[in-house]
Amino acid sequence: MKFFIDTANLSEIQEAYDLGVLDGVTTNPSLMAKEGIAGHDKVMAHYKAICNIVDDNVSAEVIATDFDGIIKEGKELAKIDDKIVVKVPMIKDGVKAIKYFTSEGIRTNCTLVFSAGQALLAAKAGASYVSPFIGRLDDISYDGLQLIQQIVDIYDNYGYITEVLAASIRHTMHLIQCAEIGADVATCPLKVITGLLNHPLTDKGLAQFLEDHKKANG
């Protein structure tokens, strides 16, 4: 499973990269705004700064919702760096744009996916990644993990190369369950990734080892 970090914070991205397990980054306009990144030139420069940290897979989201606008923005984003994956919303013009980008060799991430039908359309259009938002589905009392399972099964049935990118992951069990189901990628906050390090028996065992070493060696 690939681990992406869902943030626009450069320090968090660097920390995840230094841990040695980071495969990519996902961002969106909300995450950019959270970091105080505003204005076209600053946003573009920030994407480049992210690309300078990681090895590949930086999802940069378009703002436009019409076909021509998505194409224009997507091409501009793709020119920033070969690591950029153009993030496109699951709307009619978005699906059309994914098909166009695919024909041009530009990778895409279809975002805001909440149903298996939407995921099927994205795969048929040639999306590199499809991003079902499991946490937001859980918020409305729908089983987000069930959706991941549906999409994985459908893609396996027909051999689609689109990767299932589980998004809106809220905690470590979400991540583990997505791995069990067979999601190709999980994108989540840094605290979810570092949360995988934690176990009380690890802490207890390490404390015991250090105490025994201290007793034996003065």
CA distance 163 to 173: 21
Query: What DSSP character marks residue 168?
Result: S
The 10 Å Cβ neighbour count of residue 43 is 19
Would you name the residues annotated as active-site residues? 87
The answer to whether the beta carbons of residues 58 and 50 sit under 8 Å apart is: yes
Joined together, the tokens standing for residue 46 give: 């920030």
* Structural tokens at position 9: 């914070």
Q: Give dist(CA 212, CA 44) in Å, integer.
A: 54
C-alpha gyration radius of the chain: 19
